[in-house]
Structure 1
Amino acid sequence: NSSMQEELASWTLREAEWLGITGQGAISKYGIAFLEGGDCEIINEDLPKTVDHILIQSDNTAIAPGPLEHEVSQQLAIMADIESRGGATVYRFSESTIRRALDHGKSGDEIKAFLIKTSKTPMPQPLEYLIADVSKKHGKLRVGNTASFIRCEDTALIAQIMNDKKLEVLAFRRIAPEVIICNHDAADVMRFLREAGYLPAAESANGLILTGARSIRALTKPRPPRIVGEIEVPTLDMLNAAIRVIQTGEKSSHKQARLRQVANEALGALPRSTANETMDLVNKYIQEEKSLSIGYADNNGAVTHRIIDPIRVSAGALIARDHATGEVQSFRIPRITGVAAL
């Protein structure tokens, strides 16, 4: 329609002026050269030359006497805010801009070294003090996520748990003399500790001892609202493709179930072993690159035989190739009821 054509024409004219093809509504000499297939690089002769330095002032500002080189401009944009533009650009340093540079991974010494190297004027003391003060405060307060924690007033017991080979799979991290954190669920950590001979008690988020069958799991995050949009009517080709995918999945599921049934009948009783025996055998067979049989509980609690080639242990899970599917899968260690050699 006409309004869209007018907008397109307006955008084109605006971009042409930005590129130097036109100027003040008339075609420029650079535009003529462009249309005639001439040398389009002549515009570079009239553009201001880039500079690689700044002039730091005593009021925590810096002046760039021309367009800065790209690398210098990028670094300075992290450390300071642009206060004004023109023939020269004025940058201002503040507590928030220095903190921003620190958040980007710069250290206080790196910020000072860059400014000293880039500035043609000496760095004033107020700016140097500002950088030192913000750097000293930065990072003192840390925020992070964890799945569970262990705390104990007996620091010797904490040290013993940290050095216990039976608990290496939990990958503990000590954040204070009396506190350990872990990325595994609290219920799994409790079970591993008890199997290793320790006597832990469950604690709520409020610091109260939990007794009985009360859950020690963290509260589940609320699910995001379901967004319902417009639904397109599927075509016949789309429906046929969906049916083929479903049929393929059913055949694959039946095949896997049949293979596992054959494995259960051939191998007999499900293997049973303690958590320590399980980890010892798994680590042994990873090193020897041998196959083994495991009992594994699925999401519904049904335990089946699995014949696997163990690859590695990572984040509380055994990464292995399942012989039934031929695919590399992740088996959660708490769900492994036992392991046995073939």
Structure 2
Amino acid sequence: ELDRANSTRIRRIILETLKPNLAPELDSLMNVARWHYPHRRALTINSEVVGWTVREAEWLGLTGAGALSSFAKKFLAGEKRLGIDAALPAPVDHILIQGDNTAIAPGPLTVEILRHLSTFADIESRGGATVYRFSEGSLRRGLDHGHTGEEIRTFLREISKTPVPQPLDYLISDVAKKHGRLRVGFANSYIRCDDETIIAAILKDKNLEHLRLRQIAPQVIVGDAESSEMMDDLRSAGYFPSGENGQGAVIQVPVSHRAKTRPKPPRILGEISPPSDEILKVAIRTLRTGEKSAPKRTTGELPRTSSSETLDLLNEYLGKGVALRIGYADTNGAVSLRIIDPLSISLGTLIAKDQLTNGITPFKIARITGVARA
């Protein structure tokens, strides 16, 4: 129609020339059309356009075996009701299940049954009757659509005129039993630790609730946040994580030895006037406030205690709101002094608030070299 401006008019002429119960050949149809419309100027009826019209009319059902169909005249007259439904087979609401995991629909199924059945059965052949095949793959597809094995079995019993064969019943049960065992989820990053008490502390930490962490194993937590964001939040909460690659090796972040640039003090021009009495009072008050808020330092060496003595001292001060000084050895044996507020003891681990980081930190009791009041 884009390169032949008269194709619409030619199509109309050909359809009006066709008659019921008469199937003319293409050349004869062209001669009749030209004889009926000799006065059409600038209208060339060629065989190519006529052939396309006849072929497409048969595709649409306007002709049958080359003759005009019974409802084509109503279509050409512009009527809305063509009476096509009377020529179509009535839809059926049942199937016949066979013993070889197939089912026969003796006609076109109703829309609701067809839509439901197609989710877990494949069409094997079409015709006056349609053959459906039940297989492990088709039943798994139905389970993926949200149907259960019992729902599929009940639906087949309701629409089948024959009983559900035992092999098909076993196949449905077997596929439904296997379905859903393997789960696939989404996580951007993970946290793993050999110490399950630290895992438990992270899950209960209210400062990390926004990460929406979930535990998938006793020593593994996953989350939707990026690994860099998760490490920053863990450090802010008082934990000391380190990154690792896909092979489990620790990622070493290179330390920059470049000196930091300090801002130069502003250049003062002219003489500096002495501060007023009001400024001096504010400065003195600020210094005194800082002295009061600063933690009191305790002099002297920290006494060394055994593991049992350490545990007894921790239990003695636990729950009394007393700050403690502890010596804590790292994995390399280096001992550092910590000032803590003890909170609880569980499975050989002290959970305490570290006054240096102001975060909840776990301490292995076996690594505590000494305990004393701060």
- Please, what TM-score do these two structures have when normalized by structure 1? 0.57
Other-structure match for 1:193 = 234
Other-structure match for 1:25 = 66
Q: Please list the CA deviations of residues 212-233 of structure 1 after superposition, one character each: whole Å capped at 9, or x if unmatched.
A: 339xxxxxxxxxxxxxxxxxxx
Q: CA deviation at 1:120?
A: 1.5
Other-structure match for 1:91 = 132
16, 26, 30: which is aligned to 2:57? 16
Q: Please list the CA deviations of residues 293-316 of structure 1 after superposition, one character each: whole Å capped at 9, or x if unmatched.
A: xxxxxxxxxxxxxxxxxxxxxxxx
Are 1:115 and 2:174 matched, yes or no? Answer: no
Other-structure match for 1:206 = 247
- Whole-angstrom CA distance in 2 between matches of 1:70 and 1:208: 58
Are 1:149 and 2:190 matched, yes or no? Answer: yes
156, 164, 170: which is aligned to 2:211? 170
Other-structure match for 1:58 = 99
Amino acid at match of 1:196: A
Q: CA deviation at 1:16?
A: 3.3
- Whole-angstrom CA distance in 2 between matches of 1:58 and 1:153: 56
Indicate if the aligned counterparts of 2:245 and 2:251 stay in contact, CA closer than 8 A: yes
- Whole-angstrom CA distance in 1 between matches of 2:51 and 2:108: 28
101, 112, 116: which is aligned to 1:71? 112
Q: Please list the CA deviations of residues 91-143 of structure 1 after superposition, one character each: whole Å capped at 9, or x if unmatched.
A: 00111111111222222222222212221211111111111111222222223
Alignment of 1:205-244 (within 5 A): 205-213=246-254
Other-structure match for 1:319 = none
- Whole-angstrom CA distance in 1 between matches of 2:65 and 2:189: 66
- Whole-angstrom CA distance in 2 between matches of 1:61 and 1:68: 16
Amino acid at match of 1:119: S
Partner SS for 1:83? strand
Indicate if the aligned counterparts of 1:20 and 1:30 stay in contact, CA closer than 8 A: no
- Distance change in 2, residues 1:174/1:31 (3 Å): same
Q: CA deviation at 1:68?
A: 0.5
Which of the pair has more CA radius of gyration? 2
Q: CA deviation at 1:37?
A: 4.3
Q: CA deviation at 1:79?
A: 0.9
Identity of aligned residues (%): 54
Amino acid at match of 2:75: F
Amino acid at match of 1:202: G
Other-structure match for 2:165 = 124
Indicate if the aligned counterparts of 2:91 and 2:108 stay in contact, CA closer than 8 A: yes
Indicate if the aligned counterparts of 1:115 and 1:123 stay in contact, CA closer than 8 A: yes
- Whole-angstrom CA distance in 2 between matches of 1:142 and 1:84: 35
Other-structure match for 2:75 = 34
Structure 1: gaps (5+ residues): 215-342
Amino acid at match of 2:172: I
Q: CA deviation at 1:33?
A: 2.2
- Whole-angstrom CA distance in 1 between matches of 2:130 and 2:155: 18
- For the aligned residue pairs, the C-alpha RMSD in angstroms reads 2.5
- Please, what TM-score do these two structures have when normalized by structure 2? 0.52
Other-structure match for 1:273 = none
- Distance change in 2, residues 1:186/1:213 (3 Å): farther
- Whole-angstrom CA distance in 2 between matches of 1:71 and 1:106: 15
Indicate if the aligned counterparts of 1:149 and 1:182 stay in contact, CA closer than 8 A: yes
Structure 2: gaps (5+ residues): 8-46, 256-374
Question: After the TM superposition, which of the residue ranges 167-176 and 140-149 deviates more from structure 2?
Answer: 140-149
- Whole-angstrom CA distance in 2 between matches of 1:172 and 1:7: 70
Bigger share in helix: 1
Partner SS for 2:109? coil
- Whole-angstrom CA distance in 2 between matches of 1:125 and 1:157: 53
- Whole-angstrom CA distance in 2 between matches of 1:39 and 1:191: 70
Amino acid at match of 1:172: L
- Distance change in 2, residues 1:34/1:162 (3 Å): same
Other-structure match for 1:106 = 147
- Distance change in 2, residues 1:142/1:193 (3 Å): same
Q: CA deviation at 1:57?
A: 0.8
Partner SS for 2:71? helix
Indicate if the aligned counterparts of 2:208 and 2:234 stay in contact, CA closer than 8 A: yes
Indicate if the aligned counterparts of 2:199 and 2:219 stay in contact, CA closer than 8 A: yes
Q: Please list the CA deviations of residues 247-274 of structure 1 after superposition, one character each: whole Å capped at 9, or x if unmatched.
A: xxxxxxxxxxxxxxxxxxxxxxxxxxxx
- Whole-angstrom CA distance in 1 between matches of 2:148 and 2:48: 48
Q: CA deviation at 1:177?
A: 2.6
Q: CA deviation at 1:34?
A: 1.9
Q: CA deviation at 1:200?
A: 1.6
